[in-house]
Amino acid sequence: MKTRELQILWWDWLSSAERLLRILREQTSALTARDVDRIDTIQPELERLLEHMKRLDEEAVVSANKLAEILGTDTKFRSIVGALEGAEAQQIQTLGGRVAAVSKNVKETLSKNRALIENELNYVNGTLALIAHTLQDDETSYKSKAPRRPALVNQVA
């Protein structure tokens, strides 16, 4: 079987992607609940899995390039599948489709969580800006008689 190495890498990638999706769903839940401790607990495993999947991606590309060289074809997926025979071509086609579908799901979930994080940061920054503005406003009832000094510093600024 010429595609054995690539199939092993893809099966490992799919297994890792399933674990990653479970962790991403847990992260989504923690972000929605604003549970900072849970987010901090999840983050190291999330980063480890993302790094592992990146390494698997790189190894799969190398394996696919070697396979294309062995088959004497272009490195495009369709060319590789076209150069394979019967059952092996069907297996690699099916597995490749599955990897593509799961990859799309992972990207969408990562994007959704990134948007949740950005929204939360915008909310916090907006709240801090309002507090700072209120503290520095001369006509507010919250005005302190203490000497004026900067209340908050926006790190972005």
Q: Mind listing the pLDDT tens digit for each residue in 16-61?
A: 999 999 999 999 999 889 898 999 999 999 999 999 999 999 999 9
pLDDT of residue 138: 60
Contacts of 112 (CB under 8 A, 6+ apart): 28
What pLDDT, on the 0 to 100 scale, is given for residue 23?
Answer: 96
Sorted by where each begins, the domain ranges of the chain are 4-113
Residue keyed to tokens 């190291």: 44
CATH for the 4-113 domain, from 3.10.450, 3.40.50, 1.10.1760, 1.20.58: 1.20.58
Nearest to 124 by CA among 97, 102, 156: 156
pTM of the model: 0.76
Radius of gyration of the chain (CA): 25
